[in-house]
Amino acid sequence: MTEVKMTVNGRAVSGDAEGRTLLSTFLRETLGMTGTHVGCDTSQCGACVVHVNGNAVKSCTMFAHEAAGAEVATIEGQAAPDGTLNKIQQAFQDYHGLQCGFCTPGMVMSAAALLKENPQPTEAEVRDYLEGNICRCTGYHNIVRAIMAASGQEVPAVAAE
């Protein structure tokens, strides 16, 4: 075990990690930040998406030591310090963009990465960007609507309605 240091949600953190310690494991078990979820552990589901130096990555498919010195952003840093949800989180609540909530941390972090890159995405671009995030409650329509709302655009009547 060797020490790894990084910044998580603006706070300098450090902890011991083995070579094989995944970033998701470091966040959840070493730092106790269990907001980042591990669904599949095989890079498929996207529940573990966090931002590393501003880019969305699957934290189950990156070693903690690879994030040494990096700026990491997780779901815990999305709301304001007083608990006020950010506009993406609020839109997920308003549009019922979560059912069981397990995929939500990854969905919100992917949505945040998308809107940073493309502030006014089309519905098709939202669906394309969420290709690596799986919701087993099959709540995609409302997730897409929430992201459209969070981008300040008209919320589409989706195909299934």
Residues of this chain that bind another protein (CB under 8 A): 2, 18-20, 22, 41-44, 46, 49, 52, 55-58, 61-63, 65-66, 68, 110, 113-114, 129, 131-133
Q: Tally the residues of the chain.
A: 161
- For residue 117, the minimal CB distance to another protein (Å) is 9
Nearest partner of 148 among 117, 126, 118, judged by Cα: 126
Which two tokens mark 36?
């980042």
The residue among 55 and 93 lying less far from another protein, judged by its C-beta, is 55
- For residue 77, the minimal CB distance to another protein (Å) is 18
Please give the Cα distance from 123 to 136 (Å, whole number). Answer: 20
Please give the Cα distance from 86 to 108 (Å, whole number). Answer: 10
The residue among 8 and 38 lying less far from another protein, judged by its C-beta, is 38
Which two tokens mark 38?
């591990």
The residue among 49 and 148 lying less far from another protein, judged by its C-beta, is 49
